[in-house]
């Protein structure tokens, strides 16, 4: 099961059959300096990948795989603005959004940096005004609540970053994110708000997304009912690539912050889509977030592959998925403010690499993107870690932890850190039958009872983990971490030979939902669908009557 013509893939296959039985605890016993060999850093950000079932030979072959897949050339093509999103014939230039003002990035003969800088400048002015209170609503009051209405990439990125950087928020402002078309989301958000002091940011690349337009329409109705139609101008701004649709919705294009089709939805938090972030933490700090991402871009572009953080993270993931059989990855931030990171990375990874057709239209012959899930530590420990430790599947985990917490309770932070270190150690080392039996006997159990219980207390161990350690979660560090994952996903997609930048898989359901909507209230039976769907529509109609 290989992306055929890559000969290094076959070599890795052979190596994997040799290395599969290897125990990490033996590797650590034989090489106490594994950490020295298998860690890498960029500034304050350190990746320890020593707790994986890899040796120097594995890493060398994985690097050979990356080279054979043409990683360096493809990476340079992405940064140069080539249309590497082949199925949509688009450039992929989220990296340009965080470029320095003097950089030059050409798209169809035009340097796009001046346009990016012009939008950034407008974002600075606007966010400054909202924060200072100079931007006032229809009744002359400063804003107190900011509601971002968007979904997918127009929600997950800003929502995650705004929460991640809570310690840097403006005191007066509260942030709300409404994404789901389920009316309770917008209804319950609006219920607590005062129209006179609420700012709506309608975030949609296309400005045609059903959920976003429905929520924005409801929000506008709520505002107009309280303050009248002219108030929309002072309480609604739009973030979009589609000026015509923004105007049609009734938002003044002067209050639209633009971005471009070469920014993928799930890569858009660095664009105007990040306006809520800029309002929350201030534009200077938003620029620190961009600078962190830029630093990781530079690292990815210039570091040798064997010392390159996104490349290593991607290749370790490929080793675990394609050669050791892992079908999932757990993202485990030991940081309450990063509790939305797993959901954000779910879209970034699964919408990018959840594909089964290669760029040339042929079917993939190896596993591609994994199922990604997770939660903030230590909550996950009391929920799904049981399976990670003792289940039948091997689930590689990424642990993220800050040496310093930004909250006032350092004793809590030390407990958090102790847990974040204990879990990867336990997952690596495990506990053998003999060890578990000896422990039970030492606890005073009878030999029979110890023998009966010991198998349940065995930890197979040998479960791979990466640890990302940083000083504290500031905007710059967060920018580095997010760009690290973006580039990891790019590298993996390239090796699997898929288009990581389209998302055709979300279309079919959207089209069917549009067809079903009028059928839910139409008289008479529905016959256009399969028997199950037709029957469910009939049942719903009956229950609603």
Query: With respect to ligand F6P, which residue has the nearer C-beta, 215 or 466?
Result: 215
- Which stretch in 188-196, 205-213, 419-427, 472-480 sits in contact with ligand F6P by CB under 6 A? 205-213
Query: With respect to ligand F6P, which residue has the nearer C-beta, 50 or 242?
Result: 242
* CA torsion through residues 69, 73, 77, 80, sign: positive
Among positions 3, 152, 430, 464, the unique one binding ligand F6P when judged by CB under 6 A = 152
- Which stretch in 38-46, 64-72, 123-131, 148-156 sits in contact with ligand F6P by CB under 6 A? 148-156
User: Smallest gap, in angstroms, from Cβ of residue 21 to ligand F6P?
Assistant: 41
* C-alpha to C-alpha distances, 537 to 181, 432, 513, 518, nearest whole angstrom: 19, 54, 12, 11
Query: With respect to ligand F6P, which residue has the nearer C-beta, 135 or 177?
Result: 177
Residue 157 engages ligand F6P in binding (rule: CB under 6 A) = no
Residue 204 engages ligand F6P in binding (rule: CB under 6 A) = yes
Helices 475-496/309-318 angle, 10° precision: 50
User: Smallest gap, in angstroms, from Cβ of residue 212 to ligand F6P?
Assistant: 5
Query: With respect to ligand F6P, which residue has the nearer C-beta, 387 or 517?
Result: 517
Query: With respect to ligand F6P, which residue has the nearer C-beta, 265 or 377?
Result: 265
The active-site residue, picked from 211, 258, 351, 519, is 351
Helices 283-302/71-80 angle, 10° precision: 150
User: Smallest gap, in angstroms, from Cβ of residue 276 to ligand F6P?
Assistant: 14
Query: With respect to ligand F6P, which residue has the nearer C-beta, 202 or 473?
Result: 202
Residue 158 engages ligand F6P in binding (rule: CB under 6 A) = no
- In the range 349-388, which residues lie near ligand F6P by CB under 6 A? 351
Among positions 90, 94, 98, 205, the unique one binding ligand F6P when judged by CB under 6 A = 205
- Which stretch in 175-183, 204-212, 315-323, 336-344 sits in contact with ligand F6P by CB under 6 A? 204-212
Whole-angstrom distance, CA of residue 78 vs CA of residue 262 = 11
Whole-angstrom distance, CA of residue 488 vs CA of residue 49 = 14
Strand partners, 236: 200
How many C-beta neighbours within 10 Å does residue 17 have? 9
Instruction: Mark 206-245 with x for binding to ligand F6P (rule: CB under 6 A) and - for no binding.
Output: x--x--x---------------------------------
Which of 191, 245, 168, 167 is closest to 176 using CA atoms? 191
* C-alpha to C-alpha distances, 205 to 153, 212, 215, 261, 395, nearest whole angstrom: 9, 11, 15, 8, 34
- In the range 169-198, which residues lie near ligand F6P by CB under 6 A? none
With beta carbons less than 8 A apart as the criterion, state whether 255 and 237 touch: yes
Whole-angstrom distance, CA of residue 465 vs CA of residue 28 = 14
User: Smallest gap, in angstroms, from Cβ of residue 203 to ligand F6P?
Assistant: 7
Token pair in block for residue 232 = 């929309």
188 is catalytic: no
3-state secondary structure 55-94: CHHHHHHHHHHHHHCCHHHHHHHHHHCCCCECCCCECCCH
Among positions 81, 137, 153, 405, the unique one binding ligand F6P when judged by CB under 6 A = 153
DSSP string, 190-242: HHT--GGGEEEEEE-SSS--HHHHHHHHHHHHHHHHHH-GGGHHHHEEEEES-
Is residue 274 helix, strand or coil?
helix
The active-site residue, picked from 141, 510, 514, 539, is 510
The active-site residue, picked from 108, 225, 382, 456, is 382
User: Smallest gap, in angstroms, from Cβ of residue 89 to ligand F6P?
Assistant: 16
510 is catalytic: yes
Number of residues that bind ligand F6P (CB under 6 A): 14
DSSP H/E element including 331: strand 328-333
Biggest alpha carbon–alpha carbon distance for the chain: 81
498 sits in the region (left: phi over 0; alpha: psi -120 to 50; else beta) called beta
User: Smallest gap, in angstroms, from Cβ of residue 152 to ligand F6P?
Assistant: 3
| Phi then psi dihedrals of residue 317, to 5 deg | -65, -40
Query: With respect to ligand F6P, which residue has the nearer C-beta, 334 or 344?
Result: 344
Whole-angstrom distance, CA of residue 399 vs CA of residue 385 = 13
Instruction: Mark 476-505 with x for binding to ligand F6P (rule: CB under 6 A) and - for no binding.
Output: ---------------------------x--
351 is catalytic: yes
Residue in this structure with the two tokens 């009391």, named with its chain if needed: 382
Pairing relationship of beta strands 198-203 and 371-374 according to DSSP bridges: unpaired
- Which stretch in 34-42, 199-207, 297-305, 385-393 sits in contact with ligand F6P by CB under 6 A? 199-207
- Which stretch in 45-53, 149-157, 404-412, 519-527 sits in contact with ligand F6P by CB under 6 A? 149-157
Query: With respect to ligand F6P, which residue has the nearer C-beta, 151 or 312?
Result: 151
Query: With respect to ligand F6P, which residue has the nearer C-beta, 52 or 179?
Result: 179
Which of 226, 299, 261, 353 is closest to 479 using CA atoms? 299
Query: With respect to ligand F6P, which residue has the nearer C-beta, 206 or 336?
Result: 206
Among positions 229, 418, 506, 535, the unique one binding ligand F6P when judged by CB under 6 A = 506
DSSP H/E element including 454: none
Among positions 92, 105, 116, 151, the unique one binding ligand F6P when judged by CB under 6 A = 151
Residues that bind ligand F6P (CB under 6 A): 151-154, 204-206, 209, 212, 265-266, 351, 503, 506
Residues with catalytic function: 351, 382, 510
């Amino acid at each position: 099961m290989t992306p055929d013509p890559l000969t290094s893939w076959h070599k890795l296959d052979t190596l994997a059959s040799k290395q599969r039985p290897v125990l990490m605890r033996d590797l650590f016993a034989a090489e106490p300096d594994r950490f020295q060999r298998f860690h890498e850093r960029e500034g304050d950000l350190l990746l320890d990948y020593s707790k994986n079932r890899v040796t120097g030979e594995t890493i060398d072959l994985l690097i050979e795989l990356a080279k054979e897949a043409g990683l360096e050339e493809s990476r340079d093509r992405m940064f140069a603005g080539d249309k590497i999103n082949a199925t949509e014939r688009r450039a992929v230039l989220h990296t340009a959004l965080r470029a320095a003002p003097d950089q030059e990035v050409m798209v169809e003969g035009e340097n796009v940096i001046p346009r990016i800088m012009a939008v950034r400048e407008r974002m600075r002015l606007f966010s400054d005004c909202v924060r200072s209170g100079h931007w006032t609503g229809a009744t002359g009051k400063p804003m107190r609540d900011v509601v971002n209405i968007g979904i997918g990439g127009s929600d997950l990125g800003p929502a995650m970053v705004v929460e991640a950087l809570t310690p840097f928020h403006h005191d007066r402002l509260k942030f709300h994110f409404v994404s789901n078309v389920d009316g309770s989301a917008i209804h319950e958000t609006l219920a607590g708000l005062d129209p006179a002091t609420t700012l709506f940011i309608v975030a949609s690349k296309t400005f045609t997304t059903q959920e976003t337009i429905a929520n924005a329409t409801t929000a506008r109705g709520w505002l107009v009912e309280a303050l009248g139609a002219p108030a929309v101008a002072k309480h609604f701004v739009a973030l979009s690539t589609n000026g015509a649709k923004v105007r049609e919705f009734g938002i003044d294009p002067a209050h639209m912050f633009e971005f471009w089709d070469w920014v993928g939805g799930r890569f858009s938090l660095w664009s105007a889509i990040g306006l809520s972030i800029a309002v929350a933490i201030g534009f200077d700090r938003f620029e620190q977030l961009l600078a962190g991402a830029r630093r990781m871009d530079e690292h990815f572009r210039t570091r040798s592959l064997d010392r390159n953080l996104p490349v290593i993270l991607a290749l370790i993931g490929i080793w675990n998925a394609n050669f050791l059989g892992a079908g999932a990855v757990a993202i485990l931030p030991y940081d309450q403010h990063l509790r939305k990171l797993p959901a954000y990375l779910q879209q970034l990874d699964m919408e990018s690499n959840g594909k089964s057709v290669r760029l040339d239209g042929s079917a993939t012959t190896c596993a591609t993107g994994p199922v990604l899930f997770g939660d903030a530590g230590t909550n996950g420990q009391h929920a799904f870690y049981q399976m990670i430790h003792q289940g039948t599947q091997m689930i590689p985990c990424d642990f993220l932890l800050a040496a310093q917490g930004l909250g006032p309770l350092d004793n809590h932070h030390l407990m958090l850190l102790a847990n974040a270190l204990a879990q990867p150690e336990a997952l690596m080392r495990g506990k053998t039958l003999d060890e578990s039996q000896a422990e039970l006997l030492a606890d005073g159990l009878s030999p029979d009872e110890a023998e009966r219980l010991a198998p349940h207390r065995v930890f197979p161990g040998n479960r791979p983990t990466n640890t990302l350690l940083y000083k504290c979660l500031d905007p710059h560090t967060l920018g580095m971490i997010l760009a690290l994952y973006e580039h990891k996903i790019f590298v993996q997609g390239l090796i699997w030979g898929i288009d990581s930048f389209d998302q055709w898989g979300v279309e079919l359901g959207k089209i069917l939902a549009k067809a079903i909507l009028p059928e839910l209230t139409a008289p008479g039976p529905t016959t256009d669908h399969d028997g199950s769907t037709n029957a469910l529509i009939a049942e719903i109609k009956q229950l609603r009557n």
